[in-house]
Structure 1
Amino acid sequence: MDRVQSPLIPLVGKLIQNNPGTISLGQGVVNYPPPEQAIASLQSFLAESNNHLYQGVTGIEPLKAVIQAKLATDNQIEINHQNSIVVTAGSNMAFMNAMLAITKAGDEIILNTPYYFNHEMAIAIANCYPVLVSTTKDYQLDIKALSQAITPKTKAIVTISPNNPTGAVYSADSLQGVNDLCRDRGIYHISDEAYEYFTYDGAKHYSPGSFPHSEAHTISLFSLSKAYGFASWRIGYMVIPQHLLMPIEKVQDTNLICPPVVSQYAAMGALKTGIVYCQQHLPQITRVREIVGNQLRSIPHLCQVSSASGAFYFFLKINTKLDDLKLVKQLVKQYRVAVIPGSTFGIENGCYLRVAYGSLQPSTAKLGIERLVIGLQDICS
């Protein structure tokens, strides 16, 4: 546990709490609630007394049937004898399940940098080691560098598309390249797709689990937290090779026994509304994205903003020699605006900040990003 970094989100949350009036551009959540159908489905849960007892380790069958239909329609992933669905308490748990199922102490997992910090933390908790591979200047995958990073101890390459923290969206060719590399080298491709519906400017999301002959080495992770405003309900799911089902059942039965059944009923209601529920909220998120992006691009002498065609993040390179965490604290205390330091995402050279905009109304986004720009101008000029 000494090797596991402390989570920065609670730390920044404490800073916000101690500085009332702070606008958070920190945590990655959306500003809309779950669909009405999700709440209505709770009546079905309450109507059946057996629902208060333990249920299936990998999820209740009615929910898995809904997920199977969603995967076929939205992801072009077919569930057959070669793979299985496992419902989890969020996609973070799905990633932890995968780590414990496919590794032994001392193994290596390849992460593209900047990485999602909870992935790096889970690898360390499993007593394994992250191998960090740089992405391109636009935060796209470097297939050659990934290939060169594989060793006899490598168990998987992790991709996140759309990406947290950069907002990058990977092309089908790029993801196919990683998937083929994993197949050829006898390792797993772990694909985190929590932001699958959040794309802009014509960008398209692709699921590696849909590629031909990918079932035996692809682990796909999904979440309801973002698309359905479901963060606290803690429901996600994973599609795994069939040969991993028993190891993951062992992990999940020990850690959770079964996914929370009340949340699974809510998830059934949410998933039945389909992608259209998220899509009806995307225009407002797109407007907020434009407000934030335009303000950030107005100060090119202070920060570099890479193209971000997915998720709801901008990853900024700040032109300063200041420590990123020190800058974050100063922005909260003096300018009442909160962001996340880039070092928590594995960036050690330079000062980087992640700006999250998914939870903001346009008026709040305008005020928050104005505070950030003024703060950067005052501190870093």
Structure 2
Amino acid sequence: MNQRLTRMEAIQSPVIPLIGEWVSQTPGTISLGQGVAFYPPPPTVIEALQRRLINQPLHQYHSVTGLPSLIEAITQKLAQDNQVDVSNNQAVVVTAGANMGFLNAVLAITQVKDEIILNTPYYFNHEMAIRIAGCEPVCVPTDDQYQPQLEALASAITPRTRAIVTISPNNPTGAIYPESTLRAVNQLCRTHGIYHIHDEAYDYFAYDSTPIFSPAAIADSDNHTISLYSFSKAYGLAGWRMGYMLIPSDLLLAIKKIQDTNLICPPLASQYAALACLAEGKSYSQQFLPEMGRCRLQLLKALASISEYCRLVTPQGAFYCFLQLRSHRPDLELVKALIEDFQVGVLPGSTFGMTHGCYLRIAYGALREETASLGISRLVTGIKALSVK
């Protein structure tokens, strides 16, 4: 029992509930913390579920890997939007969010004490999932533009390495990895006989005409590439917990065992909601991106005006900025001060693995144009007050 407690104690506590509690204790705070889109799911989701409830009850178990109709629609989406043609050597598995897909993948390909390579800053739930599985995250710093460093990744591979993880568009930095970089990472994984796990939860969120590339589109990559996707961002479906993974077929039995143990089957109502979303298609989220893009530009302009207090790498995708502050205060202490004294919430960079220096993740996806100015103004005022030139 003590050994189990020790292992779990080594896993960081989820920071979003903590920040959420601080925000709730400070009424009027504008949150730039949790990564959510401002828009709701398509209205057709509710209509589809109402029809389904009348014609077919949703209270029975179903397939462990997902509804065949949803898997077919996902396969068509991957071909159309991601240029990924699902081969006979691959399988689509519907999951309760992309986070579940990542944990499924780690459990399927590792044994205790194996290693998974993460680019730093990493997505905190990835690091937590690796530790929960009894494995070791090996953190490799990105460069000063938050791009992967290929030589460093290659040097980090050991006999215990089972995968390299990439996220593009990136959480927390907003960086988009070029096709050449992702091809090189994928080839590195092929050469060393390890998996390339690629998270594409933000595959519809790019700005300035920056292209998004899916490693699963690489020819002959199907035996070592695991791709993760989500409905949470593009379709405002975060609370419905719906995602999917594209995996090599030889992992399917292991994934079935894991998913059947943890979930039995993906939530049936959420699957029909996802099916209605895919009927709407990419155009649903695209109608909201201009407003999100205007909030992004407003934020970037404001942060550029205080460059003596902070360093910003312009984000190209997702809806995040990752800011390095010139401050000697611990980042969590600074986050609390921003909430209590300036009524604006953000996340500390340490939860993303940045333990040296003071970093903040700013999420602008939830902003509307009518509230953006106030939230950004509070943030800028707080940064100036809490940082040093």
TM-score between the two structures when normalised by the length of structure 2: 0.97
Shift of 1:365: 1.4
Q: Which residue of 2 aligns with 1:131?
A: 138
| Counterpart for residue 283 of structure 1 | 290
Alignment partner of 1:248 is 2:255: yes
2:101 match: 94
Cα shift at 1:48: 3.8
User: Residue type matched to 2:292 in 1?
Assistant: I
- Of 238, 244, 253, the residue aligned with 2:245 is 238
Where does structure 1 lack aligned partners over 5 or more consecutive residues? none
1:333 to 2:315 alignment = no
Question: Relative to structure 2, which stretch is displaced further, 232-241 or 356-365?
Answer: 356-365
Post-superposition CA distance 1:232-261 (Å, at most 9, x none): 000000000000000000000000000000
What's the CA shift string for 1:330-354, capped at 9, x where partnerless?
Answer: 1100110000000000001100000
- Distance in 2 between residues matched to 1:43 and 1:64, nearest whole Å: 21
Aligned to 2:31: 24
Match of 1:182 in 2: 189
- Work out the CA distance in 1 between the residues paired with 2:325 and 2:57: 55
Consecutive aligned runs of 4 or more in structure 1 exceeding 6 Å deviation: none
Give the unaligned 5+ runs of structure 2.
1-7
What corresponds to 2:305 in structure 1?
Answer: 298
Determine the structure 2 residue equivalent to 1:60. 67
Written as runs of structure 1 = structure 2, the 5 A alignment for 1:260-271 is 260-271=267-278
Amino acid paired to 1:264: Q
The aligned counterpart of 2:148 is 141
* Structure 2: distance between partners of 1:145 and 1:206: 22
Match of 1:311 in 2: 318
Q: Which residue of 2 aligns with 1:258?
A: 265
Aligned: 1:349 with 2:360: no
Number of aligned pairs? 381
- Aligned to 1:199, the other structure's residue is in SS state coil
Cα distance change on mapping 1:328 and 1:150 into 2, 3 Å: same
Q: Distance in 1 between matches of 2:48 and 2:72?
A: 16
Alignment equivalent of 2:10, drawn from 3, 23, 29: 3
- Find the aligned partners of 2:229 and 2:383 in 1 and give their Cα distance: 35
Is contact 1:44–1:265 with CA below 8 Å preserved after alignment? no
- Distance (Å, rounded) in 1 between the aligned partners of 2:318 and 2:61: 35
Distance in 1 separating the partners of 2:351 and 2:59: 39
Partner Cα separation in structure 2 for residue 42 and residue 363 of structure 1:
32
TM-score, L = length of structure 1: 0.99
Once the two structures are TM-superposed, the CA of residue 194 in structure 1 deviates from its matched residue by 0.3
Asked if 1:106 corresponds to 2:96, the answer is: no
Partner residue in 1 for 2:3: none
Over aligned residues, Cα RMSD in angstroms?
0.8
Aligned residue in 2 for 1:204: 211
- Asked if residue 225 in structure 1 is aligned to residue 223 in structure 2, the reply is no
Match for residue 118 of structure 1?
125
Residue 50 of structure 1: CA displacement? 5.1
Residue number among 370, 375, 383 corresponding to 1:368 in the alignment:
375
Deviations 1:59-93 (A, max 9, x none): 01111111010011011111221000000000000
- Sequence identity of aligned pairs in percent? 55
